[in-house]
Structure 1
């Protein structure tokens, strides 16, 4: 029987996912230029690299991380290598997602983990290979206290395969936020490598958000949300006890609420940075983009067609078209009942 995670879609989760969609629509309404998007992506990558390595105990402040990523020093300390490795892996995954080449396989996970721990492990055999030994998760404040015993190494490959198959089979069927959240926690529970699990998890979660269809996945850093309260993050994502005693009862519901809230929090942060950058650009709402996207797909749109998928009143729909015409984004063709709208020439 194929693996199936246990979770409930609560009203709180539904509301957060809806607000994520609204926030994405609001950010897209600024019709950001390529330069704007590149700047946002750079800032998110810097923040993700800082936050994700900081979660694991890296002491470098954000200012030093930004400076390091710009200078790309040849001789680096271990803390700096950790930062450079994460940034390199993140850029690699961006490219894989954008090109449509990202494959959800164990080899991909091994490749990413190999990039994360490159030059940082005493035993090269642990770099880019699933663990072949048991591991214990200890209390970071009391090393003699065992918090969690992950699955045996002999079961890791099967557990990972089941997880990846679940994600792959449900792309387009389950919301990207839910899929990425399920991946994130189950991966942490499996703990498939000797080291680099947390960083690899967060990297692959970003990639899965992009692969499963979340727009603008490159411009926000959910790792930043976790880094602001690391204790809560570890509490929400982890388990306490022996995996085999807990496996049948693992519930992802509360974690998914927390995970979604982290994405929404970050999108709101990004949104707050936009007005001063785009104050000279026309403001478009989500319904305006629905019209433009429809024209892009179909070539034209009529009032009746717009009414077929919009819940806005007839008067509001007319105002929507008038605004797009005034902004020179669409033009009117035909007369009377034969009136329709097309993309403005040259756009």
Structure 2
């Protein structure tokens, strides 16, 4: 029987996915030129290369990572090589997704891991090859404490094969966020390589988002969200105990909520940077014009009144007001719950 993950699509997850769609719509309402998109992609790669390696203990600060990626120096320390490897793999995946060449299979998985650990492992045979030995996940703060025992090496190829088959067969059938989230956690749990599992998984998660149809996947860094609270990330993505004791009861529901939160958080971060970067006023969407029409007819509008005429979430409605205030089309009056919005005087 094929592997099928267990998860529930909660109201929270549905709301977050809807807000991600709304945030993508907001981003696309900015008339981004190819130059703007290229700049955002570079910034996202810098942030991802920094955050994903930082999660694994790399001490280089973001400023040093940005400098390193710009200079591309040849004689590098291991900490620098780790960052350069990640950036190179990310660029390769972006290109493959955009050209339609990206294929999620074992060969690709091994290729990305090889790129990630190139020049960093003592045993070359462990580069680009599934592990042939057992591994144990220990508590980084208490090295004697075993947190998780992944599946036996003899089972890795089948488990990965089942996972990849599930993802590939459900592209265009299941929401990209759910699909990428399932891959992310299950791949980390299987732990197919001796080293480079987390970085390889996060890289391929980005590619899956793009292949499965998430717009603008290349201009944000969900790794940044994880790096801000690494302990929470490890707790959310992993398991405790022995894999074989957990596998029948493993549920992805809470992880998917956390995974979606990370994408939404990053999209909102990117959105805040756009006016300063593009220098252009964004196009107004129908929901923005809805606010302006209401104010024109009634003289003012409150959060509650907007909620009564709109299906958008509370967080998105707040962003709508913020955007119109920033564009100086409306202004806020009153304070707290008594806040209402009126037409700004030119």
Deviation at 1:280, TM superposition (A): 2.9
Q: TM-score by structure 1 length?
A: 0.82
Deviation at 1:278, TM superposition (A): 3.3
Whole-Å separation in 1 of the counterparts to 2:111 and 2:286:
38
Give the aligned partner of residue 209 of structure 1: 209
* CA deviation vs aligned residue, 1:102-152 (integer Å, no higher than 9, x gap): 111011000000000000000001000000110000010111111100000
Whole-Å separation in 2 of the counterparts to 1:180 and 1:69:
27
Please give the residue correspondences for 1:131-280 in structure 2 after superposition, counting only pairs within 5 Å. Answer: 131-280=131-280
Deviation at 1:282, TM superposition (A): 4.5
Q: TM-score by structure 2 length?
A: 0.82
Whole-Å separation in 2 of the counterparts to 1:62 and 1:88:
17
Give the aligned partner of residue 328 of structure 2: none
Give the aligned partner of residue 97 of structure 1: 97
Give the aligned partner of residue 113 of structure 1: 113
* CA deviation vs aligned residue, 1:55-104 (integer Å, no higher than 9, x gap): 00000000000000000011000000000000000001001101101111
* CA deviation vs aligned residue, 1:283-307 (integer Å, no higher than 9, x gap): 132789xxxxxxxxxxxxxxxxxxx
Whole-Å separation in 1 of the counterparts to 2:104 and 2:82:
24
* CA deviation vs aligned residue, 1:158-204 (integer Å, no higher than 9, x gap): 00010001001111110000000000000000000000000001000
* Runs ≥4 residues deviating over 4 A: none
Whole-Å separation in 1 of the counterparts to 2:63 and 2:53:
14
State whether structure 2 residue 64 is matched by structure 1 residue 64.
yes
**Gapped regions of structure 2 (runs ≥ 5):** 289-309, 312-346
Give the aligned partner of residue 53 of structure 1: 53
CA contact (8 A) 2:31 2:280 kept: no
What SS is found at the alignment partner of 1:273? helix
What SS is found at the alignment partner of 1:280? coil
Give the aligned partner of residue 294 of structure 2: none
CA contact (8 A) 1:22 1:286 kept: no
Whole-Å separation in 2 of the counterparts to 1:280 and 1:251:
45
Give the aligned partner of residue 293 of structure 2: none
* CA deviation vs aligned residue, 1:21-59 (integer Å, no higher than 9, x gap): 000000000120001000100000000000000000000
Deviation at 1:281, TM superposition (A): 3.6
CA contact (8 A) 2:30 2:280 kept: no
Whole-Å separation in 2 of the counterparts to 1:62 and 1:241:
34
CA contact (8 A) 1:26 1:286 kept: no
Whole-Å separation in 1 of the counterparts to 2:97 and 2:122:
31
What SS is found at the alignment partner of 1:110? helix
Deviation at 1:279, TM superposition (A): 4.2
CA contact (8 A) 1:180 1:209 kept: yes
Please give the residue correspondences for 1:321-336 in structure 2 after superposition, counting only pairs within 5 Å. Answer: none
CA contact (8 A) 1:41 1:218 kept: yes
